[in-house]
Structure 1
Amino acid sequence: MLSAGRWSCLLLCLCRLLLLSLSSLPGARAGKVLVFPVDGSHWVNMNILIQGLHEHGHQVTVVRTASSWYVKEESPHYDSITVTLPEAIDLEKEDFFVSFLSKMLEIQRAGASPLAFAAFWWEMLNGLSGMHRKASHVAVEMFEDGELMQRLRETRYDVVLMDPGLPAGVLVAHELQLPTVFNVRWITSGEGHFVVAPCPISYVPTSGSNVSDNMTFAERLKNALHYLLNICIDRYVVSPHYDRIVAKYFGPEVNFYHLLQATDLWLMRVDFVFDFPRPTMPNIVYIGGFQCKPAKPLPADLEAFVEGSGEHGVILMSLGTLVKGLPVEITSEIAAAFARLPQRVIWRHPGERPNNLGNNTLLVKWMPQNDLLGHPKTRAFVSHGGTNGVYEAMYHGVPIVGVPLLFDQFENILRLEVRGAAKALDVTKIDRRSFGEAVEEVVHSPSYRENMQRLSRLHRDRPMHPLDSAIYWTEFVMRHKGATHLRTESYRMPWYAYHSLDVFAFLAVVLGGIVAAVVATVRFLCLRLCRRSKSKIE
């Protein structure tokens, strides 16, 4: 029999062994994460990742601006650093996208002249330039605050996590000499892959081209033109604001675009069940759908409304915050189409109440979208094609009627339409007949639901939930002080060397020299032979 003292000693040894084993587990050491988010819908994604890091014991500090719309100063999941800018960033204005959408719809519906379209583009590019000019001042305000920078250095952060859509954080991370992780889909030049991975435009769609990976010649031409346009916008509209700051604080030997390419890890909000296949790189981790989760029970009032739909079920509709930008004549046509359906409708609609609203339609300012999509009575989802909603619908196997409004929403709906899981509509041509027919087709044609459920099975069939994968790889960078072994150094090469144009030019010169030598030798021999023949004849 062991004495009480020996039992205590044995238990103490076991506790020490347990603590030692736990401390050696990946991610067990609490770290410090500095976060640079982008406001609006991008913050929804970043906040989920922040909550996950907080639950793993990490200390998170979020850099926000005083005018931030979504990113709150106080949170149980993070501390914050508030930067006051001379001008508020456009993305932080609640009516920015609404105003932008209204102008675009006005031009499209009026059949605008080329002059009006060019004026709209000029205004849009000026707005884009102004937005990045304001956003770049986040880095300036921080650099000029010596006390803040000293505090950041003394805190000894392990990693900088950022959304590079507004990449001021890249400059701060470089100043602090910290490893970086991107929570990314979009970057200054468009889709993130175009900065870090080979992207043959013969089959990789570029931002704004709205084509699939199986292109005709005309579509490849369109794709190439959009690629060149994106490069020009990035080089002449966006990057100059950051280049000036880099030149001022880091000198001419540092290149802003190289700082983007040199990030240690890319948490790419992409799943190839949804996106088209393309080349990738070792430091890209795919976390598409990381915000998806099983549905929770609905609030009692919503559950009663859904259950009251009987065998017909319910249809969900949400066009995000942009719905306030739709004219009431369009929303009234949508309402009239809904009124004719046997299904009940739950419509997230914060804007002006539409006319023709039926008794089967419930207007709400907010709804638990994920939980409703996971309800067995949900038959279809009318969506603008925002990434979060698209992935949630795919996760739960609910087919989509797409009403894309802006930016990547057209491409998101196209990807599902190509796979037979969605039907797209042009918002400028919607009337009660066309909208009603589209909804009925998606609800009553089994192929839409079957195709979406097939995508759902593929999406869920993975060894690790994408949120767990995102946290693991973020902790990986923290543990190893970066991930340079996964990063190619090709971005340091001149463009002509990257494409081996100098090698091809050298080989062409050598080949030309060989051909010229052979031709000269043959010519010399022929002339000599002719001279001998001539002398013999004489």
Structure 2
Amino acid sequence: MPGIGKSVTLVFHNLAKVLHKRGHQVYVIVGSNFPIPDSTKDGSVNYLTFKTDKEYIFASEEFQRNDVKDMIQSDGDMVTNFRMVRTASEFFTYQCAEMLEDQELFVKLLSLKFDVAVIGAYPFLANCQILPYKLDLPVISITSFTSLLGQAGVPLLPSVVPSLFTTFNEDMDFMERVQNFMITLVSNFISTPSIPAELVQRHVSHKPIKTFNEFLRDSILWLVISVNPALEPIPTLPNVILLGGMGVKQPAALPDHLEAFVQKFKSQGVVVVSFGSVVKYLPTEISKRFLGVFSKLKYGVVWRYSGEDLGEIPPNIKLMSWLPQGDLLAHDSVKVFLSHCGNAGLYEALFNGVPVLAMPIAGDQPYNAERLVKRELAIKMSHCGNVFS
């Protein structure tokens, strides 16, 4: 499947390593411009690429400077969320088409004689379902979109299961249930894509035409990487495995330069700041405001940052373009994690017992933040316009 983001790739890599250790050969399909994480190049996964002529969406300057800013200033509201999903959908739909048209890739896939395909069950990867159909492969669906589990037969009643596009939790009052019901109806309508019949016909002319929901219903197994029963109740079935936290690994020692910085603040403590792999950098004016606040803290601050030059950096702040996030959160000097509440960071913080200062931006992040706040594991920071509270 075309790579969605580095964090999802890292989670899948943990699964691939286990499969590799048990004697399986694992191949991952990505676009030729996808930034493959170096940590996954350990021999357990083989990457196959298809030709693409579009810049990877989350690496583009337009997305980082405009879309990210809009998402931050909207405080994760539903309209902006839908708009972001639509923007991503347009890009990944185009990439799926490129993958299906790559005959060199298809010949290679035929020669490898696969036993099963693991496909990302996401609305914006709908057209990718055609590839395993063309190869006559059974499909395992892997997803963080719990709303799609209805296609696996799971009874996701909106009276008790909050939509990903809300910040409700399982303790909804009557009016919240009414709102959740309406939002679920609208989101299911908007976020359920249609796979063009002519596209299926062109690539698999000898088989019946199928819809996206029909493809999903044919999945032999579902792996849900966003839910852990310890964090929230959710109805499930025997063919659904809840793997929230699958991306968490046992910590390794920190690099010497990072360990030295952390040790300088051993008595005061360290704050870790990261907004995930999709947000390359925050808008400069917001980053400078963070810098001003961090400079007044008694704590050390390790900040994943790769944006524009912020000028002189105070001695209690260490900027890094990449963080060994899980290893750092496991350090006993870390006191707080300022995070967007993506799935990977959420479970790394939980695993290591680090409280979260949540600044959700888009997607399922507002929902994730609410799950933590509900259980008193986080405090949510609102950010509307240029006001933070």
TM-score (norm 2): 0.86
Please report how far the alpha carbon of residue 82 of structure 1 lies from its aligned counterpart in structure 2 after TM superposition.
Answer: 2.3
Map 1:380-529 → 2, pairs under 5 A: 380-428=336-384, 434=389
Task: Give the one of 222, 229, 253 matched to 2:186.
Answer: 229
Q: Mark the CA change 1:268 to 1:323 in structure 2 (over 3 Å): closer, same or farther.
A: closer
Residue 135 (structure 1) aligns with: 95
Please report how far the alpha carbon of residue 393 of structure 1 lies from its aligned counterpart in structure 2 after TM superposition.
Answer: 0.5
| 8 Å Cα contact 1:295/1:370 also seen in 2 | yes
Distance in 2, Cα, partners of 1:93 & 1:193: 32
Task: Give the one of 321, 324, 338 matched to 1:368.
Answer: 324
Q: Mark the CA change 1:92 to 1:310 in structure 2 (over 3 Å): closer, same or farther.
A: closer
- Helix, strand or coil at the partner of 2:172: coil
Please report how far the alpha carbon of residue 221 of structure 1 lies from its aligned counterpart in structure 2 after TM superposition.
Answer: 2.3
- Helix, strand or coil at the partner of 1:312: coil
Please report how far the alpha carbon of residue 359 of structure 1 lies from its aligned counterpart in structure 2 after TM superposition.
Answer: 2.6
AA in 2 matched with 1:47: H
Identity of aligned residues (%): 28
2:141 matches 1:182 = yes
AA in 1 matched with 2:164: S
Please report how far the alpha carbon of residue 397 of structure 1 lies from its aligned counterpart in structure 2 after TM superposition.
Answer: 0.4
- Helix, strand or coil at the partner of 1:381: strand
Distance in 1, Cα, partners of 2:310 & 2:22: 46
| 8 Å Cα contact 2:358/2:381 also seen in 1 | yes
- Helix, strand or coil at the partner of 1:198: coil
Please report how far the alpha carbon of residue 295 of structure 1 lies from its aligned counterpart in structure 2 after TM superposition.
Answer: 1.9
User: Rg: which structure is higher?
Assistant: 1
Which ranges in structure 2 are unaligned for 5 or more consecutive residues? Answer: none
TM-superposition CA deviations, 1:112-133 (whole Å, max 9, x none): 9xxxx98x78965763552243
Distance in 2, Cα, partners of 1:171 & 1:364: 40
AA in 2 matched with 1:79: N
Distance in 2, Cα, partners of 1:220 & 1:39: 32
Residue 47 (structure 2) aligns with: 80
Q: Mark the CA change 1:87 to 1:365 in structure 2 (over 3 Å): closer, same or farther.
A: closer
2:159 matches 1:192 = no
Residue 200 (structure 2) aligns with: 246
Map 1:39-438 → 2, pairs under 5 A: 39-70=5-36, 76-85=43-52, 87=54, 90=57, 93=60, 96=63, 98-105=65-72, 108=74, 124=84, 127-138=87-98, 140-142=100-102, 145=103, 149=106, 151-165=108-122, 166-186=125-145, 191-196=147-152, 197-235=154-192, 238-241=193-196, 243-248=197-202, 249-250=204-205, 253-269=209-225, 270-274=227-231, 276-354=232-310, 357-428=313-384, 434=389
| 8 Å Cα contact 1:313/1:378 also seen in 2 | yes
- Larger RCO, structure (CA 8 Å, separation 6 or more): 2
More helix per residue: 1
TM-superposition CA deviations, 1:231-275 (whole Å, max 9, x none): 22134xx3244x44224435655333211121111111121222x
TM-score (norm 1): 0.64
| 8 Å Cα contact 2:245/2:348 also seen in 1 | yes
Q: Mark the CA change 1:98 to 1:80 in structure 2 (over 3 Å): closer, same or farther.
A: same
Q: Mark the CA change 1:430 to 1:213 in structure 2 (over 3 Å): closer, same or farther.
A: farther
Equivalent pairs, count:
381
RMSD: 3.1
TM-superposition CA deviations, 1:65-88 (whole Å, max 9, x none): 223233789873333332224655
Distance in 2, Cα, partners of 1:366 & 1:71: 11
- Helix, strand or coil at the partner of 2:267: helix
Residue 480 (structure 1) aligns with: none
| 8 Å Cα contact 2:50/2:99 also seen in 1 | no
- Helix, strand or coil at the partner of 1:294: coil
